[in-house]
Amino acid sequence: MGGISTLSNTVVLTGIGLILLATMYFVYKVFQSDRMDTSVKIFSLLGLITVIAFCTTAVLYRTDMVGEYSADRLAKIESRYNFCKGYVLAKYLAEKYPDRKAMIIVSPNYEEILRQKELVDSLKAGFGDSITVEAIVPISVDLSRYQHGKSPHIEEVMTAEDFDYAFEKHRECEVVVSIIGVPKDLDKMKVWTMEDYERPKIALLNSSTKYLEGAIKGKFVVASVHYIPGFKSSKRMPPGDPKKVFEERYMLVTPENIDQIRKKYERLFFKM
């Protein structure tokens, strides 16, 4: 898709350049001609100015400076989807588990990551007065095991032990939302061995649901947000209703609907 977009831009920009050159050549010939009166020359000059303005706008439009291709506009669209992703999950949890304390698990440097800060804000907004955010916990990871100079993704380095430490430190939190998914060795997490009454309600953002079917069915994970398979991104500004925005791109997988979702999207889950 990127190659097609680049080719399209190249063709359009080449066409714009040719139009501008042809117009400039025409005006040049008009001014060179002694047979053309002054009014024609003035109109041709005004025409050139109009064409230059049109071409300038078109170039800015196609090079992500203005219009629907604007980098700023596209960033606002993605920001809106990102916010609604967290907001809808939080609203679901607030209705399902009111009057609880929550812990949000984030990256060590989450305040420097725009999308994670947006998610934290969206969760707080969605919780409203029903759930109190007791702790925002940057997951502690040991980077000493990795080569100096490398900057691995948090998903590659976080472990079950890191999560166990966060759960143990904040046992008062009955709702836990991880916006960084789960560790690769998630089967080693001690939280799975807890009794139902002491295990927190775990919800996930930015996590693959592929290997979580059993955990969701068993209510170890009470909710997980997943992209709708085959969704198509849009350059239009999303609607105002957060739920409608959410439903354009995401689905909320829960113990109650996982069977229906599996029937509709068989490839969403790993075949056991």
Residue 8 has pLDDT above 70, yes or no: no
pLDDT over 50 (residue 107): yes
Domain coordinates in residue numbering, the chain? 2-69, 71-268
Q: Which of 12-21, 183-192, 242-251 has the lowest mean pLDDT?
A: 12-21
Q: How high is the pLDDT of residue 184?
A: 85
Query: Is the CATH number 3.20.20.80 carried by domain 71-268?
Result: no
Helix axes 242-249, 71-96, angle to 10 degrees: 110
What pLDDT, on the 0 to 100 scale, is given for residue 268? 78
Average of per-residue pLDDT across 175-187: 91
* Mean pLDDT value across residues 38-50: 75
pLDDT of residue 18: 78
Structure confidence at residue 127 as a pLDDT band (50, 70, 90): very high
Helices (H), the chain: 2-32, 38-62, 71-96, 114-127, 154-157, 160-169, 213-217, 242-249, 258-264
Q: Residue 180 pLDDT > 80, yes or no?
A: yes
Residue 148 pLDDT level (bands cut at 50, 70, 90): low
Of the candidates 185, 176, 263, 190, the residue with the CA atom closest to the CA atom of residue 221: 176
Alpha-carbon gap, residue 43 to 192, rounded angstroms: 79
- Mean pLDDT calculated for residue range 143-148: 55
Does pLDDT of 75 surpass 60? yes
pLDDT value of residue 255: 94
Phi then psi for residue 202, to 5 deg, are -100, 130
Average pLDDT estimate for 40-46: 73
Does the structure show a pLDDT above 50 at 177?
yes
**What's the confidence (pLDDT) of residue 144?**
59
pLDDT at res. 151: 52
Q: Is the pLDDT of residue 207 over 90?
A: no
Question: Is 136 within 8 Å of 208 (Cβ atoms)?
Answer: no
Band (146; pLDDT cuts 50, 70, 90):
low
- Three-state SS letters, 43-55: HHHHHHHHHHHHH
| pTM score of the predicted model | 0.72
> Which band of pLDDT confidence, cut at 50, 70 and 90, is reported for residue 2?
very low
Q: What is the pLDDT of residue 237?
A: 76
Check pLDDT > 80 for residue 36.
no
What is the percent of the chain with per-residue pLDDT over 70, rounded to a whole number?
82
Tokens representing residue 239 in the block: 């609607």
Question: Average pLDDT, whole number, for the chain?
Answer: 82
- pLDDT for res 49: 78
